[in-house]
Structure 1
């Protein structure tokens, strides 16, 4: 009798694994696909008028301004990915967007640290349509379903430094321990070139998108954050009142904006060859995005390539790059 029960259980297990489980898995995949298709059906409308500069006759007191941020109702927003190489500053940009609009941004990563720091859209399903834009590093991951896309770019040398800081310090605010002798470290060299390659791949993939696109440069945000946020808000066809403008002005820094160290040691860990390759990558990327109608990297616009590197005067390699 026991043997017979074991036989029945064995047949039942085989039936479940080879018949029922595949059917269930395909059904889940089909459901996810339909969910994305439904999400992507929401229209993206290009902005038709200036909305940032709307003013009111009433003088607002910044101390009483409501700068709270909320989730939108499901299916409110089309899928608009915020694409960037790691280390480009997407966390800071997300904060600025949230302050200017009052709506949370989302992500495909579920970053526990960011969620705990106030990015409450971080754990939301990126297909739900209740966050204004969705952070992603791989363009192709959402390209099939997005209705528009934003790309955040930054000097790739600074990107490598920022990403090294994040990984080494295990967080968004820490800083790695930098040593001048890292120039000869094979792991460091491989790390830098992996990020260079990812940078190039992201730009190439972005240039192949057929939906409306916007490119934002980190260096422009540093110089004039409000103007850059205005461009993004207009692109997303959002209306910003005077209160939200005050929020973006008075709370533009956020909790996760790593302050750049005055030390030049991180830059000195790059070999001459690495710097030359980074500058060549920037020229290639600038040419590609300019062909698509976007602004080249700011340091390359009407300036020699050496201006792209903040401490170039200390580096002989800039003069010798072919």
Structure 2
């Protein structure tokens, strides 16, 4: 009797082992693309191989998620556009996670202030479903936008964030980021104006009036503006030059390109970070957080002649390192619109 019972137990054990092996084989099969209706995670991604500099992905980063390998990520983009009932983008911001300690290598998200760092963090978090971090975590965890960047609740050295915000170009800061940096570079003319326009607004209800006052102040103080804007572009050029020359590895992202082609630029950034390319989440990031180019009335300040020289020097540094050169900043002034005339018909 006991012998028969033991035999039955052995048979059942073998049976379930075969079932588990069968299921495991199918889950881990490569180059499979599966369409799962009515599930947000249907657009999942290839699990990337470790990069050449030795990042090892931790298994816990993908627990409780369906991972589907896809040969062509662009097909996901097309499928998303066709299947509008598949769109659950309203909830993707709620599912962003804080990773565990030592989940990611230290990669900087470096930029000069007013170059799109905050917006880039927003879309990266949606696209990756993990929070970014910041070197300013002690101060920024108390800011009004802190709930959107919960990675900033922790010391960035804990390596919970997929990348870390910084506006510093100091070499000691650069050396902290052993896995390199993503550089967001924006037209310095627009950066200079944005720095003035986005200083603390004292009353949101009178925002436009305050901005008009600032515009008028610059018009009435041309010499002071030219001196200040020259200081801004010198710091702009020095910051990026320092990162290009000292960082372990660099991905250059031009702000104009990120605004105009957000989907493909996000794929580039995620690939640099050695993260899954998830077409569904990327498209949700594009839809939920589109790029907004601020336009400030009929404001066309003069810029010092040194601007062009400094821009050319940074551009040459990029070329020497075989990095993407700067876009052609042909406007030579920030792009502005006269809000009183923008609805009038154009003269022919």
Same-fold call, TM > 0.5?
Answer: yes
8 Å CA contact 1:81–1:134 kept in 2: the answer is yes
Alignment of 1:12-23 (within 5 A): none
Alignment of 1:155-234 (within 5 A): 155-169=187-201, 176=211, 177-180=213-216, 182-183=218-219, 184-234=221-271
More moved, 125-134 vs 236-245: 236-245
Specify the alignment match of 1:131 in structure 2.
161
Alignment of 1:139-150 (within 5 A): 139=169, 140-146=171-177, 147-150=179-182
* Cα offsets for 1:153-199 (capped at 9, x unmatched): 01101011112222242799x67433345243554334322211211
8 Å CA contact 1:286–1:297 kept in 2: the answer is yes
CA drift of 1:203 comes to 1.8
Alpha-carbon distance between aligned partners in 2 of 1:151 and 1:242, rounded to the nearest angstrom: 23
Specify the alignment match of 1:118 in structure 2.
148
CA drift of 1:114 comes to 5.5
CA drift of 1:309 comes to 4.0
Gap runs ≥5 in structure 2: 1-52, 57-69, 337-348
8 Å CA contact 1:82–1:150 kept in 2: the answer is yes
Alpha-carbon distance between aligned partners in 1 of 2:248 and 2:154, rounded to the nearest angstrom: 24
Q: 1:125 to 1:62 in 2, by over 3 A?
A: same
CA drift of 1:248 comes to 1.5
Normalised by the size of structure 1, how large is the TM-score? 0.69
* Cα offsets for 1:279-309 (capped at 9, x unmatched): 2221211111111111111116xxxxx3454
Alpha-carbon distance between aligned partners in 2 of 1:156 and 1:199, rounded to the nearest angstrom: 7
* Cα offsets for 1:209-265 (capped at 9, x unmatched): 251210101111121111111110111111032331232232123xxx765125131
- Is 1:55 matched with 2:85? no
Alpha-carbon distance between aligned partners in 1 of 2:248 and 2:332, rounded to the nearest angstrom: 29
Q: Secondary structure at the match of 2:253?
A: strand
8 Å CA contact 1:104–1:119 kept in 2: the answer is yes
Higher relative contact order (CA 8 A, sep 6+): 1
- Is 1:89 matched with 2:125? no
Specify the alignment match of 1:36 in structure 2.
none
Alpha-carbon distance between aligned partners in 2 of 1:50 and 1:289, rounded to the nearest angstrom: 32
Q: 1:52 to 1:192 in 2, by over 3 A?
A: farther
Alpha-carbon distance between aligned partners in 2 of 1:101 and 1:52, rounded to the nearest angstrom: 14
- Is 1:77 matched with 2:98? no
- Is 1:260 matched with 2:306? no
8 Å CA contact 1:69–1:102 kept in 2: the answer is yes
Specify the alignment match of 2:327 in structure 1.
298
Alpha-carbon distance between aligned partners in 2 of 1:213 and 1:55, rounded to the nearest angstrom: 28
8 Å CA contact 2:197–2:214 kept in 1: the answer is no
Gap runs ≥5 in structure 1: 1-41, 301-305, 313-322
Alpha-carbon distance between aligned partners in 2 of 1:150 and 1:64, rounded to the nearest angstrom: 26
Matched residue count: 256
8 Å CA contact 2:109–2:184 kept in 1: the answer is yes
Q: Secondary structure at the match of 2:317?
A: helix
Alpha-carbon distance between aligned partners in 1 of 2:102 and 2:312, rounded to the nearest angstrom: 40
Specify the alignment match of 1:34 in structure 2.
none
Normalised by the size of structure 2, how large is the TM-score? 0.64
More moved, 98-107 vs 134-143: 134-143
